[in-house]
Structure 1
Amino acid sequence: MRTSLALVVAGLCVALVVSIVLATGLGPTSIAPGLTARIVLAHLLDAMHVGHAAHTWSASQDTIVWLIRLPRVLLAGIVGASLAMVGVALQAVTANRLADPHLLGVSAGATLGAVAATLFLGAVFGPFTLSLLAFMGALAATAIVITLAHRHGRLDSDRLLLSGVAVSFVMLAAANLLLYLGDQRAAASVLFWTLGGLGLARWNLLVVPAVIALLGAIVLIGRRRELNALMTGDLAAVSLGVSVARMRREVFLVSSLVTSAMVAVSGSIGFIGLVTPHFCRPLVSSEHGRLLPVSALSGAILLIWADVAARTLIAPEDLPIGVVTALVGGTLFVVLMRVERRR
């Protein structure tokens, strides 16, 4: 019997809040959870123009919590939730549970666009240059993968995965070539996009990815019935009145937009979209009205703690978060496969 959705969501919400408080206090300079919560609450009350007691913490503690760590933790939550939802949607429309934005080349395409914008274009389109080029790269990669994966007029899920891996390698090779050919001083700074990282997080950086993540969630949850139908196969989906081709185009477009927005602020982060849905299905089933919100909360928690590991394992230096998610996500996926095989 599946666990009650309300109970699972409530538990994950509590776990997410606790994770945010604990993760904000962890680092080279540790800050107690109680003090972290008081600092955050004081700033929230200030924003609402509500009076509060005098501060009992130092200015450096206030800066660490409010200006450095909390935006980074929140960005990790936004990116983790977004990648998990995209992974759920891609696995549904491709009927392949190995699909995720990283394996299907979407992340690599967005990375190539971001690297090209940083090295050669600057701010030619204003502050949205990076996001725009990342989106164009993700969309181009998606179009190439879909074209290669079609067989006899139908989308072959096995060819889709193989095409995604091939396109991902090509896109990353092109990004590395641009890094090699570009200004080496700039190339060192954009290596971040190929390895992933949240060190650039600031309050003014959270607005765009948060809005895009929210819009993506609304669209995907609104299409939950169509996603459920696509999981049963194209013929069954058509018999239920679903326009398979239109639905796939819509999901791929939304996935590209959401992924490119996340890559623009965090670089390429793999395995979150692949692993999270697999751990959530045994809890709430494969029904997408249940799976999408639970996966979003789980992905947020997972990436928050991956970022804690990234900034504490070799402190005071940051380990690229893409390295952490690949190590942890790959290990968890192997364990999951062994468990499912035993079942």
Structure 2
Amino acid sequence: MSLEQRVQPLRLAEDAPADPGTADPRLPDPAPGAPRALRNTIVLAALAAAVVIAALVSAGVGQMQISVPEILASIFHRMGMDWGALPAHPHAESALWAIRFPRVLMAVVVGAALASAGVIMQGVFGNPLAEPSVVGVSAGAAAFACTSIALGLTFFGQWTTVVAAFLGGLVATCLVYLTARHAGRTEVVTLVLTGVAINAIAGAVIALMTFLGDSSAREEIVFWQLGSLNGTLWINVAIAGPIALAGILLACTMTRQLDLLALGERPARHLGVNVESLRRRIIVIVAFLTSAAVAFAGIIGFVGLVVPHILRMALGPGHRLLLPASALGGALLMLAADTAARTLVANADLPIGMLTALVGGPFFFWLIRRTRRGAGGWS
């Protein structure tokens, strides 16, 4: 059977009305009907509302408890509107605007960036185990960032660490792509082993920089290894936020191409997708998203693995919905993790990377077993 004959049913499916019961599950209808569009809108609205509620709750909990009405009153007061009673505690306003709000917004940025990077990595590799921390992208970004800290590099001013993290993430992503891809497919074992190798090399670089750096640099490097949002400032949000937002928006323009790539390289090329160009662009976007997160929060693993899989099981594989939903889901998970980090132990701030690893590690084991059973053995 020729390639044209194999692709023809896909073309017919694209012209047919959306029917969840008969449509190709790998290729969602590009023109969904009203019920599907309404469902997508409801899902995204519900996730966005959950993120807002979680952000308000997170901003109010801690050593100083502030109620949600007081938080809303403070926000409206800053906007020039009188609504409700301001926080009664004399230091509540300064705590909210100098400490908690920047941290809450950074949790949203980091969670959205890591989850979005996980979605598009899985899409471009065609592999459910691809995720920035698993395959070493986060570690590569951290290694370059730690090197800039330990050596005191200031080539780009306050952007030096961010630029270094981006270069590290880009190098690690390219290594993963060049090593794990073979004959148009990604081998699971090769992907995991590549991640092990990159994480090991990055860990050695970080250890060397810890040895070479002074006491101040060592403290910062420990922060990178554990992952934390403690001490987040507005300037950090102002730098990381636009980078993450730009990366997510660019990725959203490629959702249709990622859906076509799920059919295989040859059908995707036949349907007009420049596969190699798409992969190069995705690699750069993954590096941007990962660097935006790692540069200000350190290594926080498994967000890009857990969130996309949970939402893919609930919503389906179509990237048009999955990508924005994962961004919101990642923000929600990071808000929950950061709130837990600040409240589980009295007068202590636990590393967020530790908490996400405690959740993501068992999930990763389960996913490996599920992938192995579904494929009848690893490829």
CA distance in 1, matches of 2:84, 2:259: 51
Matched, 1:9 2:44: yes
Larger Rg: 2
Change (3 A) 1:228 1:139: same
Q: Which moved more, 1:204-213 or 1:78-87?
A: 204-213
Structure 1 position 86, deviation (Å): 0.6
CA distance in 1, matches of 2:83, 2:59: 22
Q: Which moved more, 1:79-88 or 1:226-235?
A: 226-235
Equivalences, count:
337
| RMSD, matched Cα | 2.3
1:109 is matched with which residue?
Answer: 140
1:24 is matched with which residue?
Answer: 59
The TM-score with structure 2 as length reference comes to: 0.83
Match of 1:292 among 323, 326, 331: 323
- Please tell me whether the aligned partners of residues 224 and 298 of structure 2 are also in contact (alpha carbons under 8 angstroms): yes
CA distance in 1, matches of 2:159, 2:310: 35
1:149 is matched with which residue?
Answer: 180
- Please tell me whether the aligned partners of residues 76 and 83 of structure 2 are also in contact (alpha carbons under 8 angstroms): no
1:64 is matched with which residue?
Answer: 95
2:104 is matched with which residue?
Answer: 73
Change (3 A) 1:315 1:189: farther
1:325 is matched with which residue?
Answer: 356
The TM-score with structure 1 as length reference comes to: 0.91
- Please tell me whether the aligned partners of residues 110 and 259 of structure 1 are also in contact (alpha carbons under 8 angstroms): yes
Structure 1, unaligned runs of 5 or more: none
- Please tell me whether the aligned partners of residues 94 and 157 of structure 1 are also in contact (alpha carbons under 8 angstroms): no
2:240 is matched with which residue?
Answer: 209
Between the two proteins, what is the percent identity of the paired residues?
A: 38
2:73 is matched with which residue?
Answer: 38
- Please tell me whether the aligned partners of residues 117 and 129 of structure 1 are also in contact (alpha carbons under 8 angstroms): yes
2:23 is matched with which residue?
Answer: none
- Please tell me whether the aligned partners of residues 299 and 353 of structure 2 are also in contact (alpha carbons under 8 angstroms): yes
SS at match of 1:59: coil
Change (3 A) 1:254 1:235: same
2:213 is matched with which residue?
Answer: 182
SS at match of 2:228: coil
Match of 1:163 among 186, 194, 197: 194
Matched, 1:270 2:336: no
CA distance in 1, matches of 2:52, 2:363: 23
Change (3 A) 1:52 1:5: closer
- Please tell me whether the aligned partners of residues 90 and 100 of structure 1 are also in contact (alpha carbons under 8 angstroms): yes
- Please tell me whether the aligned partners of residues 126 and 186 of structure 2 are also in contact (alpha carbons under 8 angstroms): no
CA distance in 1, matches of 2:87, 2:340: 29
Structure 1 position 316, deviation (Å): 1.6
2:14 is matched with which residue?
Answer: none
SS at match of 2:57: helix
Structure 1 position 58, deviation (Å): 3.0
Q: Deviations over 1:156-202 (max 9, x none)?
A: 34223321232122112211221123224421232101111101212
Letter in 1 for 2:53: V
1:87 is matched with which residue?
Answer: 118
Change (3 A) 1:39 1:334: farther
Matched, 1:220 2:251: yes
Q: Deviations over 1:190-219 (max 9, x none)?
A: 210111110121222211211111111111
Letter in 2 for 1:140: V
